[in-house]
Amino acid sequence: MNLEEYLKENAEITAAYKHARWKYSSIEEFVLKYGKLYKNKPLPKDFKQGLRFSPKACYQNAKKLSNKRRELTYTEGFAVGNMGIPIRHAWCVDKDGNAYDCTWVYQEQREYFGISFKIEYVNEHYKKTKEHAVLESSFFDDPNEFLVT
């Protein structure tokens, strides 16, 4: 099963439990609606210049990289990790739809499916909440506030 199929299956399972006031039954449904599949590419060495990335800090790392390199966009969603299991994750993408992960070691078979966020939205979210991940909060916001078009 690929990552998109996994998200669809989980969205279908949770649809039965959707609360009447909720727009979406799950994070998976939300990511499927506004996100897309990205092509995995190795992180170029010059992207790392002057930056230090921490293990297990994907949200902070992706935010740091997208603030430094404005041609990249902060993206959050699901990625397939070392064990082959989809998990919540953050990375950066370029205008061509290439995913650059500054937290995990590059592996060609990785899949990335997520929503690209305006960096201003991400930075403001952190100022207000001190939370690095934005996906849960954006779940309730107007998509025009955060979507990169």
In angstroms, the CA 73 to CA 91 distance is 8
Flag whether 64 is in a domain.
yes
Flag whether 107 is in a domain.
yes
pTM: 0.92
Flag whether 18 is in a domain.
no
Sorted by sequence, the CB contacts under 8 Å of residue 132 that are 6+ apart come out as 57, 59, 60, 63, 90, 126
pLDDT (0 to 100) of residue 142:
86
For residue 43, the Cα-to-chain-centroid distance in whole angstroms is 16
Flag whether 98 is in a domain.
yes
In angstroms, the CA 63 to CA 59 distance is 6
Q: For residue 64, what is the enclosing H or E element?
A: helix 58-68
Flag whether 76 is in a domain.
yes
Flag whether 24 is in a domain.
no
pLDDT (0 to 100) of residue 66:
97
Each residue's pLDDT tens digit in the chain (149 positions)? 899 999 999 999 988 887 777 788 899 999 999 999 999 999 999 998 889 999 999 999 999 999 999 999 999 999 998 888 999 999 999 999 999 999 999 999 999 999 999 999 999 999 999 999 999 888 778 888 899 97
Question: Which domain covers residue 84, as residue numbers?
Answer: 35-146
Flag whether 5 is in a domain.
no
Per-position b or e across 103-117, b if 16+ CB within 10 A of its CB: bbeeeeebbbbbbbb
Total domains in the chain come to 1
Flag whether 17 is in a domain.
no
pLDDT (0 to 100) of residue 138:
83
pLDDT (0 to 100) of residue 42:
97
